[in-house]
Structure 1
Amino acid sequence: MDAQGQAWDAAAADRAVAVLKAVADPSRYRLLWALSRQELPVSALAELLGAHVAATSQHLAKLRAAGLVVSRREGTRIYYRAAEVRGLLDEAALVAGAAGGGGAAADAPPESAATAAQEQAAPARRRPVGTGRRRPATEH
């Protein structure tokens, strides 16, 4: 292989490692999973994670730098959506199932394995994604 071919391989490997590093955090994985299904504002994503908006924005900035999410502004809100990441998420779930000693996730089709991985990464108490308004505790 010539030097030019090797340099391209090194650059491609560097880009792949940057993508894997961006997804290596559980919060960023969960953000990608949610954004692979629908476009959401930062406030809804922060609520999904149970984190502050500032922390969620930092995670989104890392995902955006890796080319995994794109954003658009609508008034004062910024909405995010995932780039083409479903294959990456499905493969990660399959590899995790195989590395974890097999089990149902390893034998399941990609969609089922990915769903199982999402459910394991989901918080114990799920909150509905909405406008951020909470109902009063005394409402019947």
Structure 2
Amino acid sequence: MDAQGQSWDAAAADRAVAVLKAVADPSRYRLLWALSQQELPVSALAELLGAHVAATSQHLAKLRAAGLVVPRREGTRIYYRAADVRGLLEEAALVARPAAERAGAGPADAAEVGVETAVETAVAHVSARASRARAGRAGRRRPATEH
């Protein structure tokens, strides 16, 4: 193939490598998988990982720098949601399967399904707790102040 037939964009390649590096950590992969399902605050994400909020924030900073998550501030809390990454996560899971399964010879890898199910269950649990906490805060009223 001649030089004109080969289309190589070095900047695009660098961005793609940055994305792959950002996802190359199991904790960040789990964060992205959870955030691809719903928006969550940092505290809920830390609970999901079983990690400190500071460590979770560092993972989120790397994902944010790669353009994979989007933050939203609500008061003092920061909520995160995934950018359009579901296809990336599914492709990574597909490539991680044994070759016979990728060819359509069998069901999804049990370990992969286990991780997805565990993350989905943890997200549902954390989400339910966050909803109950929000409902509790909404029911509280400030005492009237006297002047």
Task: Judge same fold: TM > 0.5, yes or no.
Answer: yes
Aligned counterpart, 2:100? 102
Larger mean CA deviation between 86-95 and 113-122 belongs to: 113-122
Give the CA deviation at 1:119: 2.6
Give the CA deviation at 1:117: 2.6
Look up the equivalent residue of 1:117 and give its one-letter code.
E
SS at match of 2:59: helix
TM-score (norm 2): 0.71
Aligned counterpart, 2:14? 14
Give the CA deviation at 1:102: 3.2
Look up the equivalent residue of 1:102 and give its one-letter code.
A
SS at match of 1:38: coil
Structure whose alpha-carbon radius of gyration is higher = 2
Q: Does 1:24 align with 2:28?
A: no
Measured at CA, do residues 115 and 77 of structure 1 come closer, stay the same or move farther in structure 2, by a change above 3 Å? Answer: farther
Q: Does 1:117 align with 2:98?
A: no
Measured at CA, do residues 69 and 106 of structure 1 come closer, stay the same or move farther in structure 2, by a change above 3 Å? Answer: farther
The percentage of aligned residue pairs carrying the same residue is: 74
Measured at CA, do residues 101 and 25 of structure 1 come closer, stay the same or move farther in structure 2, by a change above 3 Å? Answer: same
Measured at CA, do residues 114 and 75 of structure 1 come closer, stay the same or move farther in structure 2, by a change above 3 Å? Answer: farther
Structure 1 residue runs of 5 or longer lacking an equivalent are: 134-140
Give the CA deviation at 1:79: 0.1
Give the CA deviation at 1:39: 0.2
- What number of residue pairs does the alignment pair up? 122
5 Å matches for 1:71-90? 71-90=71-90
Aligned partners of 1:71 and 1:81 also within 8 Å: yes
Give the CA deviation at 1:114: 9.5
- Distance in 2, matches of 1:31 and 1:118, equals 16
- Distance in 1, matches of 2:110 and 2:80, equals 21
Give the CA deviation at 1:15: 0.5
